[in-house]
Amino acid sequence: MKERILSAIILFFFFCSCHHNPSGYSSASETDFTAPAWGGERWKDVPENPLIDPVHFNLPELVIGDPQILTPGEFDNQWHAFYHGFSHDEKGWHTWFFHSASDDGLHWKEVSREQGEVGIQYLTNDGDRWIQYYTATTNAMEDTALKRKYHNIIRARTTTDFVNWTQPVNLILPELPREREGDKAGKEARNPCVIRLPDGRYRMYYSAGTVYLNDAGYEEPKYIFCAEADNPLGPFTKREDPVLQPDPDLPFRNYGCGGFKVFGYRDGYLAFYNPIYIDPEQKSRSEIRMLYSKDGLEWKEAENNPVVKPDPGIAWRSAIIYQLDVVPWENSLLMYFNAREGWRGGAERIGAVKLDLNNEEPLFKLR
């Protein structure tokens, strides 16, 4: 009798072990993914801040931002920064794309500038070529149909030398109802970030819909969406629901979501974004925060937020913190971002903060 009971118990546990998880995936406890403890106290301003100031470009009312950084060895033996800008004169607004180089990642010299449609952009390499995904300002295009329907769309072009570029292709047009929210400047899709997924496909995160900053006088992104493709140049198929949206109950994201940059970390994903909020004094604000996700679709706030926030004691980043890039370098992480001093008519500059890793595992770009 005892032998029969023992045999039944063994069979029961064998059955459970075979059939509890028929898909072969690890159990929830084995796949828990948490963010590293990279809170604000770990990130230190580099002494050279701000690193890139528009005052040196001789363009009227120029603001610059959204840097993308290449470290030595990725393209050549120098550091490279790519960023966009807007200037204003008696003829109206002008869109700029800038390229600067550096020997140390701190002291930058302009290499080139291009006036046209290229705004906020994201760079990734694909074999021997580089792909630039960018926010395209339709006012700078000759296509009158695009001008009538959209203010910004997302395009891509490629290069091997950052001098000669292929003709752009259209990737994302703001056509979904929530992509078209906002009525001040027009319909916008912007802030692209494209990663390579484990299955070889491509996922683009992008901002769409807008909220208006009354004290600053311009729009900022409301939602974060994503779209996927088999080819890095599309066509991209959108997910209709945003992966992130504002929440009136969250004081740091009560108005909009800003931009979104995604990185690999261990067997999951980290994202840094700049949510838009209205503070208790009714001033528009934004700060850099970290999110984490196992699948890149469902995101959780890290416990040690914010990463970088406005600081009245640091003039160049006293009002609003905007978009960024993070690069690992010599047992550290460097985060480059642009920030605003003041609101309407305020100045924007690019600077950096540094986190010493102390031999912790770094994040990585999903190229």
Residue 320 DSSP code: E
Per the prediction, the chain carries an average pLDDT of 91
Q: Yes or no: say if 99 and 108 are a contact pair by the CB < 8 Å rule.
A: no
Bond before 50 cis per omega within 30 degrees: yes
Q: Give me the pLDDT at residue 184, please.
A: 67
Q: Give me the pLDDT at residue 30, please.
A: 35
Euclidean distance between CA atoms 128 and 218, whole angstroms: 38
Euclidean distance between CA atoms 208 and 189, whole angstroms: 5
Q: Is CATH 2.115.10.20 the classification given to domain 64-310?
A: yes
Could you tell me the residue ranges of all domains in the chain? 64-310
Euclidean distance between CA atoms 183 and 240, whole angstroms: 20
Residue 14 has pLDDT above 60, yes or no: no
Ordered DSSP codes for 183-235: -SS--BEEEEEEEE-TTS-EEEEEEEEEEEETTTTEEEEEEEEEEEESSTT-P
Euclidean distance between CA atoms 62 and 85, whole angstroms: 7
User: What is the tens place of the pLDDT at every residue in 306-364?
Assistant: 999 999 999 999 999 999 999 999 999 999 999 999 999 999 999 999 999 999 999 99
Q: Which of 315, 323, 340, 333 is nearest to 84 (CA)?
A: 323
User: What is the tens place of the pLDDT at every residue in 101-140?
Assistant: 999 999 999 999 999 999 999 999 999 999 999 999 999 9
* Token code pair at residue 115: 């006036």
In the three-class reduction of DSSP (H, G, I as helix; E, B as strand; rest coil), residue 41 is classed as: helix
Q: Give me the pLDDT at residue 21, please.
A: 34
Residue 256 DSSP code: B
Cα Rg for the chain, rounded, in angstroms? 22
Look at the alpha carbons of 225, 228, 232, 233 in this order and tell me if their dihedral is positive or negative.
Answer: negative
Distance of CA 310 to the CA centre of its chain: 18
Q: Give me the pLDDT at residue 2, please.
A: 43
Residue 25 has pLDDT above 60, yes or no: no
Euclidean distance between CA atoms 343 and 234, whole angstroms: 37
Query: Which strands form 129-137's sheet, in the order they lie side by side?
Result: 118-126, 129-137, 152-159, 169-172
User: What is the tens place of the pLDDT at every residue in 244-288?
Assistant: 999 999 999 999 999 999 999 999 999 999 999 999 999 999 999
- Kindly report whether the global pTM for this prediction surpasses the value 0.85: yes
Look at the alpha carbons of 173, 176, 177, 178 in this order and tell me if their dihedral is positive or negative.
Answer: negative
Q: Give me the pLDDT at residue 186, please.
A: 72
